[in-house]
Amino acid sequence: MGNIRLFYRESLSLNFTATLDKSQSHYVSKVMRIKENEVFSLFNSGGEWEAKILKISKSIVEFNVIKQLRQKENFKELWLAFSPIKSNYFNFMIQKATELGVTKFLPIIFDRTIVRKINKDRLEKVIIEAAEQSNRITIPIIEKPQKLKNFLSNEIDLIFTDLNTSNTKIDLKKLTTKPKCVIIGPEGDFSEEEREKILNYNGVQAIKINENILRTETAVISALSIINYAIN
């Protein structure tokens, strides 16, 4: 049986004893069929810990933390600014972006954005599941949808995926210690006014990630892979 990892919101420490919530208890005891005295992992931004099941009573799992597996990580801030898309593709995009190390999701309502609302609770569940499965400790944040003007008030190194540029490489010399942020446009592409605002942002680099026009979720995976290769 592979190592079972669960995200736990509260602080964890050696000898800490508590119970899992109903959903996690069901997963551990009914789906994965872990028994009393067997172990699994709990993690949050403070680190990762091994826990032993003390008791399963009325389908609720009581556990005790027995040792620390990993300490708090120093991680690089990697943000993703994007236009919301239809739910099935959206879930896939969020899942893969979490696996690729995104630390913050920033939904942007562009002029040509079609989907203008997000189900934040559902997306947070997708993020947590992806973090559990990909061996991450930190859980990415997802913000409420915002306008481009508000987004551009952030101090970041902005990587602009632009079909109209001939540049295909990130200039590492231009990167600073600020968060790195990839911005992906809507299905109908950025408007000319939006392109101008983004290109006028102090700290932007425009790159072409492919000669072809990519779907949003494909562009996200491609752009994040490029920037991860460049900065790691």
* Residues in Cβ contact with 65 at an 8 Å cutoff, skipping those fewer than 6 apart: 12, 13, 14, 15, 16, 17, 42, 49, 50, 51
Q: Label residue 1 by pLDDT band (50, 70, 90).
A: very low
The residue with tokens 């400790």 is 137
Q: Inform me whether the pLDDT recorded for 111 exceeds 90.
A: yes
* Encoded tokens for 104: 């913050």
HSE (side-chain half, CA atoms, 13 Å) at 39: 10
Q: Length of the chain, please?
A: 232
- All structural domains of the chain, each given as residue ranges with its CATH number in brackets, are 5-71 (2.40.240.20), 78-231 (3.40.1280.10)
201-227: average pLDDT: 91
Query: Of 14-18, 55-59, 170-174, 215-219, which has the strongest mean pLDDT?
Result: 14-18
Asked whether the whole model's pTM tops 0.85, one would answer yes
Residue range 112-170, pLDDT digits in tens: 999 999 999 999 999 999 999 999 999 999 999 999 999 999 999 999 998 888 898 89
Helix (H, G, I), strand (E, B) or coil at 63: strand
Question: pLDDT tens across 61-73, in order?
Answer: 999 999 999 998 7
Checking if the pLDDT of 78 tops 50, the result is yes
Q: What is the pLDDT of residue 168?
A: 87
* Closest-CA residue to 151 (of 190, 124, 123, 120): 190
Residue 58 has which token pair? 């009325």
pLDDT digits (tens, 9 = 90+) for 2-37: 589 999 999 999 999 999 999 999 999 999 999 999
124: left (phi over 0), alpha (psi -120 to 50) or beta: alpha
Determine the pLDDT at residue 2. Answer: 54
Mean pLDDT in the chain?
93
